[in-house]
Amino acid sequence: MADILSADPFVENHTSVSIDGGFEHAWRYMTDNYTRFQIAAYGSALLHCVSYILISSPSILFRYIPFMDRFKIQQKPLSGANEMKCIRLLLVNQFIIHVPFYLGAYYYCEIINLPFSYETMSSWYITLAKCFACLVVEDTWHYFSHRLLHHKSIYKYVHKVHHTWQAPHGMVAECVHPVETILLGVGNMWGVLIFGNHFILLWAWMFVRLLEVIDVHSGYNVPLNPLHLFPFYGGAKFHDFHHMNLKGNYAPTFTWWDKIFGTDIQYNEYYKMKREEDLKKQK
Ligand SMILES: [Zn+2]
Ligand SMILES: [Zn+2]
């Protein structure tokens, strides 16, 4: 009878839907051997830090591969002083904002009694769909907050720090003033508050968000980037223009808000002009 049930495609079988049985084993090992506090607070901070380094590594390595120069969006050289400023800001944000934030995440999990167990976990494709919904929510919050940060009366106090890098690279993604980390971080929480039904969403969403924000700051428009399979995904070319121009292209992920409010006009004109120049050169 048990065999018949497990063969039924309509009965959810966590072992068969997990990408790898190793994931189930690792998750069970973690929840059996560590407390909810250790997982939510220390585990999240560690995962954030390790993911950040791993995801931004390719765009750093690309600098040493001459073949990749053809995909570089801007050809500006990096300055050593800016590199040190970036590392300092990342450390400040990690210890002053992210560690206390993940301590708060633990108390959030306790208050709403968010499950951690493998048995209560949604299928991977449900979790992925929720991450996509979180991206849509975060993109909306980010677009309007970002426009506010560019208002001339407050720009120089907060957001100017992120615009130190006119030609960004992956590590720049979270090189922002601590006030900006808090303001834009609120946008990361809305999706979890709305769609969260298991602790895994916090980690999956954190990873997806880092993948997106580091990709758009990579400085490279690499062909066959799987993230471009998502309709309306702006990517590195779209956000790089914001760093170069200081105006327009305020949304981090999708292009629809900039299209609706006409804040992508300069971007479209710039690339139209570039295409025309390229055509003239070919003649
Ligand atoms: Zn900006
Ligand atoms: Zn940026």
* Residue in 257, 208, 211, 256 with CA at minimum distance from that of residue 236: 211
* pLDDT at 8 exceeding the cut of 90: no
Band of pLDDT at residue 79, cut at 50, 70 and 90: low
Q: What would the pLDDT profile of 171-217 be if each residue is shown by its tens digit?
A: 999 999 999 999 999 999 999 999 999 999 999 999 999 999 999 99
Starting from the CA of residue 159, give the closest ligand.
1
Which ligand minimizes its atom distance to the CA of 212? 2
Give the pLDDT band (50/70/90) at residue 105: confident
Tokens of 97: 């904002």
Distance 216 CA to ligand 2 centre (A): 8
What's the Rg (C-alpha) of the chain? Answer: 21
Q: In this structure, are residues 229 and 248 in contact, taking their beta carbons and an 8 Å threshold?
A: no
Task: Say what the pLDDT of residue 19 is.
Answer: 57
CA of 144 to the centre of ligand 1 (A): 11
Ligand nearest the Cα of residue 249 is 1
User: What is the reported pLDDT for 232?
Assistant: 95
Residue 28 is assigned to a structural domain of this protein: yes
Per-residue pLDDT at 176: 93
Would you call 49 exposed, middle or buried from its count of C-beta atoms within 10 A (0-12, 13-18, 19+)?
A: middle
Alpha-carbon gap, residue 130 to 124, rounded angstroms: 10
State residue 16's pLDDT score.
47
Q: What is the pLDDT of residue 7?
A: 42
Residue 114's domain comprises: 21-282
How much distance in Å is there from the Cα of 249 to the middle of ligand 1?
9
185 within domain boundaries: yes
Note the ligand closest to the C-alpha atom of 151: 1
Residue 270 lies in a domain: yes
Mean pLDDT of the chain: 89
pLDDT value at residue 278: 85
**For residue 14, pLDDT beyond 80:** no
Mind listing the pLDDT tens digit for each residue in 213-261? 999 999 999 998 999 998 999 999 999 999 999 999 999 999 999 999 9
Does some domain include residue 206?
yes
| Ligand nearest to the Cα of 250, by number | 1
CA 27 – CA 16 distance, rounded (Å): 15
Whether residue 210 contacts residue 110, with contact meaning beta carbons closer than 8 Å, is answered with: no
In a domain, 218, yes or no: yes
Domain count, the chain: 1
Residue 220 has a pLDDT of: 95
Residue 279 CA to ligand 2 centre (angstroms)? 30
Task: Tell whether 13 is covered by a domain.
Answer: no
Residue 15 lies in a domain: no
Residues in Cβ contact with 112 at an 8 Å cutoff, skipping those fewer than 6 apart: 196
Q: Taking residues 46-55, what's their average pLDDT?
A: 95
Whole-number Å distance between alpha carbons of 190 and 187: 6
Question: Is there a domain that residue 12 lies in?
Answer: no
Q: What is the CA(147)–ligand 1 centre distance, in A? A: 8
